[in-house]
Structures are given as C-alpha cells and as structure tokens.
Amino acid sequence: MQRKKGKGKALVTLMVVFGLFQTCFSSGINRASFPKGFVFGTASSAFQYEGAVKEDGRGPSVWDTFSHTFGKIIDGSNADVAVDQYHRYDEDVQLMKNMGMDAYRFSISWSRIFPNGTGQINQAGVDHYNKLIDALLAKGIEPYVTLYHWDLPQALEDKYKGWLDRQIIKDFVVFAETCFQKFGDRVKHWITFNEPHTFSIQGYDVGLQAPGRCSILLHLICRAGNSATEPYIVAHNVLLSHATVADIYRKKYKPQQKGSIGLSLDVIWFEPASNSTGDVEATKRAQDFQLGWFLDPLIFGDYPRTMRERVGNRLPTFSNFEASLVKGSLDFVGINHYTTFYGSNSSLATLLNDSLADSGALTIPFRNGKPIGDRANSIWLYIVPEGMRKLMNYIKQKYGNPPVIITENGMDDPNNSLISIKQALQDDKRIKYHNDYLTNLVASIKEDGCNVKGYFVWSLLDNWEWAAGYTSRFGLFFVDYKDKLKRYPKKSVEWFTNFLNSA
C-alpha cells in the first residue's frame, strides 16, 4: 500500500509539471521561432521609472505639475521617487542580462538635459545617461532611446504653451541634436516620440493627462483648452518636429553613427461590431483617426482623406515642403499594441465638438453587453491576441510593409494589498498573454510575410502608471513599494528566460 501511494504521488507530481509545461509552452514558440536577428527587449520611460525629480539639476516637467495637482492621479500618488531607476540602473540592467534580453527601450528626460527646455545644457543629466548607456552596452544590451515620452519641460509650457506653438519645433530640434551629439556614438536606435496620438487626445482633448487641457468638460476638469482644435495642432507640430529631426539626423549624424530613426504609435485594433455597412465604415474611420492620423502623413505625405472631409479647416495643412519633409521620414514604425475594441457607427459628433467625435465612430470593448475578451486590470485592456496578427497585416497591406518594431506590449495586474507578494508573483495570466500575442506575431511574420523586427515587453518593472498611479502592475518584476522598492521576479521572468534561452 505504501509503495502504491508513493507511485501515485509521483504520478500526480509528474502530471502537474507536465501541465505547467503545456501551459507555458503549448504553442512551442521560443526565440528560435523568430527570424535571425529579431530583437527582444523590455521598455520603460524616464518619468515612470527614474524618480530623483529634483536631483542633479533636473527641471520640472508638465507631468510633475500635473501629478501634484489634486484629483488628477487616481491614488493621489506622484512620481517623485517612482521606482528609483536613476539610482538603481545597474541592478536593473543586470536583471535584463540575467533574462537574456537583447535590448532596453528607455526615454531621456528633456528637462534633465535642459532644465529650462532650452539654453544651458545640464552636464549632470548628460552624465547620467552616459552611465546608463555604457552599463547596458557592457552587458551586451542594445539601447533603444525615446527622445520624448510625454514629459515636456514645464518651462516651455509656461513660456508658449508647449506643443501648441511652432516654436516647440526649434526647441525640440536643439534637444534632439544634443542627444545625437552626446549619445549617438553608442545609440543606434532612436524613437522621436512615444504615442503622440495618446498625448494629443488625453492632454488636449479630454484633459485626463498633462497638461490637462480641454473644453468638452471645461468647468469640471480643465481650466483652459479647445478640444475641437488643439489636438490637431499638437499632432501637426509633433509630425513636423519628428520630420525635421529625422532629416537632420539623416544628413548630419547617420553617415557616421549608422543608426536608425522612427517613432512609436499606440494602436488599438478595431473589429466591426456588426457586418453592417455603417459599422464596417465606422471601424475604418476609427483607424484613420488613430493610426492613420500619424502614419498616413509619414508614409503618404498627408492626413487620411476621411480626416480632411470630417475635420475640415480645423485640421492643419502641410505646405509642399512640409509634406515632402514628413513623407518617408522614418526608418521603422514603432507600434505599441495591447488590445482590441469593437467599432460602430456613432452620432457622437452631433453631441460633442472634439476630435474623438469627429470620426463618427464609437469604439468600446463590448458588444451586446459582452466583453471582447478577458480583462486585465486596466479598464481599457482586454486580451485579444489575434488582434496582433490582424494589425500587422493591416500595416503591411495599407502602408507597403514597412519595418515594424513592437515597442510595447503587455498587460497589468491590480496592485492588491490584500494578497501576499508570493501570490502576486504567480502571474500565469501574463505568461499566457505574452505567449498568445507572440504566437500571433510570429505567424504574421512567417505565414503572412509581415516585416516585424523586434518586440519589447511593457514593462521590465512595475512602475508609476500615469493617471493610474501605483494601482496598476505591468512589470515582469514585482516592485515592493512598502519595502525599499525591492525587485522580485514574477513567474513570467522564468518564462521569458526559458523562452529567450531555448533553441
């Protein structure tokens, strides 16, 4: 009897192990499934990670101001400390090295280099990024640098309202050129902007992110703004800034530095809520007002026809020179993709006067009261892995198959103080998320011929998530906010380590 029990226990253990193996590797994908040279990395941003907001000469940004304004951040927190990567970058670089990651995407804080947005260079800021870049390269990790990840120097917002004034183009050029000069001998991958669609809408249409401008809910949450015009002005100035900087980089720096330059666009994939002509057309418009708003000018030289028709003279125009400058001004397209929504025809435009309503499309993750997929923690993040493959094919077909890098993909868990750290580290849902999205991504490459070159996980660490504060945990590593920001590997770290080191 005793021997039978022992055998039974061993059999159960074997079944459990086999079950875990199936869960983690059911698709059979690993690094070797992807083309040779495909880059795997993790992503971050300066404001969400660094902390040290008043150290070594750094000036304030619009997000410092916004996060210290009552009622703007859901948990009342700020990013003054964040996850303290400013002081702990060596430790974090080692975590990436241990996993087998090829690259790290991080952003440079504009106000660390120019505390006033322009003028005198802050050498301490330059020194910090030199040390971070050198630490990465010493461990064999390639830096992918974002120049602008939402943290506009407050001085430029105060001086001329930042992205609403064309002066911003000149000041951004000075900042970008300074970065090329100081870091371009080692940085070979530049991303000018992160998610201009997001900060144009959230910052200047609905006012839920810095600098918090809007008119649709003016008396409730915004003190100033015009939701019908400002998002388009901001986006236009961003496109011109990107194109000007890309032109300078290609002419002055690329011949010697041999790097590449692109930008990162946030893209929700949209599925028609029904087969009706109205919903199908609305879904196409929704994508024009999201991805097309930025990628059409960069590939074709002008905004989508649907935007021209529906926005009219509120949509800025490119001169012939500007159109030629913008068109073709990227070496790769960065795509931040997390989720999929339904699209349906909408008459919102008759109720609201803003850029969201201009598309005449309603995009939500529900149909007939049922969600489109399992939800992560964020109210907008529903898990629909096949959206990744469909989006890659859409970009291939509409835009001529440009080189694409997935510069962000991931999901969050809640920051639940009622569960133990041990429980929080068991992130099987995240493992399945990445496995399934990567499975669809590799299918788009190998079966459909999509030109995808890399994949960056959002995010290396749990971090400060903008208006969500510390309520959301996207990290592969758990950060203990109650105990000196200690980093603990979640189960997904083991999964990625196996993924990256298996052949």
Question: Residues 376, 413: contact at Cβ < 8 Å?
Answer: yes
CB count, 10 Å around CB of 88?
17
CB count, 10 Å around CB of 19?
10
In the block, which residue shows the tokens 């068991």?
426
Helices (H), 249-311: 254-257, 277-287, 293-300, 305-311
In three-state secondary structure terms, 289 is: helix
CA–CA separation, 310 vs 175, rounded Å? 35
Write out the H or E segment, with its range, that includes residue 135.
helix 123-138
CA–CA separation, 305 vs 320, rounded Å? 17
Question: Residues 336, 314: contact at Cβ < 8 Å?
Answer: no
Q: Would you name the residues annotated as active-site residues?
A: 195, 408
Expressed in angstroms, the distance from the first to the final Cα of the chain is: 43
Residue 196 is classified by DSSP as H
CA–CA separation, 143 vs 56, rounded Å? 23
Write out the H or E segment, with its range, that includes residue 199.
helix 196-204
Backbone phi and psi for residue 34, each to the nearest 5 degrees, phi listed first = -95, 160
CA–CA separation, 129 vs 30, rounded Å? 32
CA–CA separation, 339 vs 334, rounded Å? 16
